[in-house]
Structure 1
Amino acid sequence: MRVILPAGTTETALIDGISAAGAAPELMAHTPSADVEILAYGEPTGAPVTPVSPTGCPTPAAVTRAVREVVGFDLAVVDAGLARPTAAPTVDLGVDPGATVRDAVAVEDSEAIFDRAHDFGSSLPDDEVLIGETVPGGTTTALGVLTALGEPATVSSSLPENPLERKRRTVDQGLDASDLEPGACATEPMAAIRAVGDPVQPTVAGIAAGALEAGIDVTLAGGTQMVAVAAVLRHAGVEDRLSIATTSFVADEQGERLERACERLECDLVVTDPGFDRRGHVAMERYCAGEAKEGVAMGGALSLVSDDELQAVRERFETICDRLGIGSDGPGETATDGNGEASSDGGKRRGS
């Protein structure tokens, strides 16, 4: 199994109150770069921050890394608009960081990004892939794209209290700046991304479309951000079978809305409960309290874990938290930041 992780940035994340993916703007730009290093090496090696919230909630990259150490999977990181360099090896598709959705143009070359990503996806040697994402502010841009496509628009949040109305106001401002009405891009999904999206979206969509065309099974590993990508694919005319794999944290927040979205977009849904409520570690408690929820292919990675192996993943997650400077009582001296927004069993929930 190969996990493909497009990683990028958008200035939308800098809008006050939108994202929990950074304690300060100068740190937030490093979050995706640190995420991919944690997934590749088990800890940041070049990025100057460790993505951990002040309350002790680590980036979902730590969970995905725990899965990788327990069950193993191949990894390909795609630079989908990183604002800061990363020490992890990346596939460079020539993608620039995104502007804010409040601007008239959020992603200047969305169609060209999609085409280059499509070529990469069609060249993959795999039988099946999981495609994740790391992009602070990505749930707001997901809301923007869903709105521009005319899809029912609701998204998750990396914050315990979802600032959905703030996100909607931001998207409305972006649509106004782009001189668009909701649903105006129903037949032009790349125009939706250009106006109110982020550069990770055409990268994920292009890779998925190319892989599907090559006969590769594709699972979108994430929550409502991946619902937006699935909507882009369906509006682009991609009809191949598609799956979305996410966490119980997203599913609990979204309820039937997530199931209905997957049904409408004809996507299989798998939800995995990692069983964090069974441990007393502060990092797991923060996830159970509603922080982070998803990201960095967390839900997709967890879907690879058998019920018998979930306990080992939880134990390895604690080990990784120690490595990142997060003890059982909370973060230690490590620099803090934060990250988060994101199978064919008809939406069955699994976990042990």
Structure 2
Amino acid sequence: MRVILPAGTTETALIEGISAAGAAPALMAHTPSADVEILEYGRPTQSPVTPVSPSGCPTPAAITRAVREVVGFDVSVVDAGLSEPTAAPTVDVGATPGRDIRDPVAVPDASSIYDRAREFGASLPDEALLIGETVPGGTTTALALLTALDEPADVSSSLPANPLEQKRVVVEDALDESGLEAGACVGDPLEAIRAVGDPVQPTVAGIAAGALEAGIEVTLAGGTQMVAVAAALRHAGLEAPLSIATTSFVADERDGGLQAACDRLDCDLVVTDPGFDARDHVAMNRYCAGEAKEGVAMGGALSLVPDGEMATVRDQFETIYARLGMGDGESVDGGLPDRSPADDAGDPDAPATEGGRGS
């Protein structure tokens, strides 16, 4: 099994109160770069921070990494508009960071990103793919994409209290600035992404389209952001079988809405409960309280865990939590441990740092 992880940024994430993908807005640009290093190496290497929410909830990358260490799977990272460098090798599809969706154009190169990503997806030798994402602010851009496509718009949040009304106001402003009305882009998803999306969306959609056309089985690993991508694929005329795999945290928050969306888009839905309520650990408690919920292919990775092995994944998550410098299950109070490659000097278990981005 191969996990494809497009990673990018959008200035939409800087809108106050929109995202919990970082302890402070100024640090969110580092979140995707650090996420891919955690998934690749087990901890940040070149990235100077470990992503946590303001209350100390660690990034879903730590959970996806825990699954990888227990189950094992290949990873390919795609630079879908990173604004900070990463030591993880990446595939280049020509994406640049997304603008604030309240600008007239959010992703000017949406069509070219999609085309390059589609070529990449079609070239893969795998029989099956899980495609995830890491992009702070992605549920707001998902709401904007769904609204522009005239799809029922109800998205999740990385915050315990979903600021949905705030997101809707942002989306209304974004559509106004782009000269669009709700539903104006039915049948034209790339125009919707260009106007009010983020660069991860055409990357995921393009990879999925190319892979499906090549006969590869595709599962979109995520929650409501992947519903938006699935909607884009259906509006592009792609009718191939498609699955979405997410966590119980997202499915429970949506109260049946996620299943209804998948039914409407003719997608199979796989929901996995990692059983975090079985442990009294600060990180798992934060997830059970409604933080983070999904991201970095977490739901898709958890769906790969064999019966009887989830307790081992929880054990490994605790190990990774400690490895990331967050202590042994004690609250970090929203702190963000700084890291640099020099921090690992003399540590025989530290991953090697690779310079630059791969291609």
Alpha-carbon shift at residue 336 of structure 1 (Å): 5.2
Alignment of 1:56-135 (within 5 A): 56-135=56-135
The SS at the match of 1:307 is: coil
Segment drifting more, 286-295 vs 13-22: 13-22
Deviates more, 1:55-64 or 1:154-163: 55-64
Instruction: Report the equivalent of 2:219.
Output: 219
SS in structure 2 of the partner of residue 6 of structure 1: strand
Q: CA deviation at 1:92?
A: 1.1
Aligned to 1:253: 253
Give the gaps of 5 or more residues in structure 1. Answer: 338-352
Question: 1:52: Cα distance to partner?
Answer: 1.5
CA–CA separation in structure 2 for the residues paired with 1:114 and 1:270: 26
Q: Is the 8 A contact 1:53 1:336 kept in 2?
A: no
Deviation of 1:276 after TM superposition, in Å, equals: 0.1
CA contact (8 A) 1:251 1:258 kept: yes
Partners of 1:176 and 1:332 lie apart in 2 by 39
Q: Report what 1:295 is aligned to.
A: 295
Specify the code of the residue in structure 2 equivalent to 1:294.
E
Q: Paired residue for 2:238?
A: 238
What is the match of residue 190 of structure 1?
190
The answer to whether structure 1 residue 166 and structure 2 residue 195 are counterparts is no
Partners in 2 of 1:309 and 1:125 — Cα distance?
28
CA distance in 2, matches of 1:138, 1:54: 18
Cross-structure match for 1:347 = none
Paired with 2:188 and 2:267, the residues of 1 have a C-alpha distance of 20
CA distance, structure 2, for counterparts of residue 160 and residue 333 of structure 1: 15
Match of 1:274 in 2: 274
Superposed CA RMSD in Å reads: 1.2
1:311-342 deviation line (CA, Å, top 9, x unaligned): 100000000000012221222896259xxxxx
1:141-152 matches, within 5 Å, as: 141-152=141-152
1:329 alignment counterpart: 330
Query: Is there any run of 5+ residues in structure 2 with no aligned partner, and where?
Result: 339-359
Cα distance between partner residues in 2 of 1:323 and 1:8: 25
Pair 1:12-2:12 in alignment:
yes
4+ runs deviating over 3 angstroms = none
- SS of the residue corresponding to residue 331 of structure 1 reads coil
User: Residue 32 in 1 paired to residue 27 in 2?
Assistant: no
Equivalent-residue separation in structure 2 for 1:90 and 1:48 (angstroms): 18
- Name the SS for the 2:309 alignment partner: helix
Q: For 1:41 and 1:336, locate their aligned partners in 2 and report how far apart those are by CA, in whole Å.
A: 17
Q: CA distance change for structure 1 residues 333 and 139 in 2, over 3 Å: closer, same or farther?
A: closer
- Cα distance in 2, alignment partners of residues 53 and 173 from structure 1: 27
Preserved contact between residue 120 and residue 210 of structure 1 (Cα < 8 Å): yes
Number of aligned residue pairs: 337
TM-score normalised by the chain length of structure 1: 0.94
Match of 1:209 in 2: 209
What amino acid maps onto 1:331 in structure 2?
V
**For 2:116 and 2:70, how far apart are their aligned partners in 1?**
33
Alignment of structure 1 residues 46-61 onto 2, 5 Å: 46-61=46-61
Matched, 1:228 2:224: no
Q: Hey, what does 2:355 align to over in structure 1?
A: none
Whether the 8 Å CA contact 1:7–1:133 is kept in 2: the answer is yes
Using the aligned pairs only, state the percent identity. 75
1:150–1:184 CA contact under 8 A, matched in 2: yes
Q: Are the counterparts in 1 of residues 52 and 334 from structure 2 also a CA contact under 8 Å?
A: no
2:8/2:80 contact within 8 Å kept: yes
Q: Deviations over 1:142-175 (max 9, x none)?
A: 0000000000000000000000000000000000
Q: Partners in 1 of 2:53 and 2:29 — Cα distance?
A: 15
Question: C-alpha distance in 1, partners of 2:311/2:335?
Answer: 26
Cα distance per residue 1:228-273 (max 9 Å; x no partner): 0000000000000000000000000001111100000000000000
**Per-residue CA distance 1:9-52 (angstroms, 9 max, x = gap):** 00000011111112223211000000000000000001011012
Q: What amino acid sits opposite 1:299 in the alignment?
A: G
Decide whether aligned partners of structure 1 residues 216 and 330 sit closer, same or farther in structure 2, where only a CA change above 3 A counts.
same
The change in CA–CA distance for 1:148 and 1:54 in structure 2 (over 3 A counts) is closer
- Structure 1, 324-333 or 257-266: larger mean CA deviation: 324-333
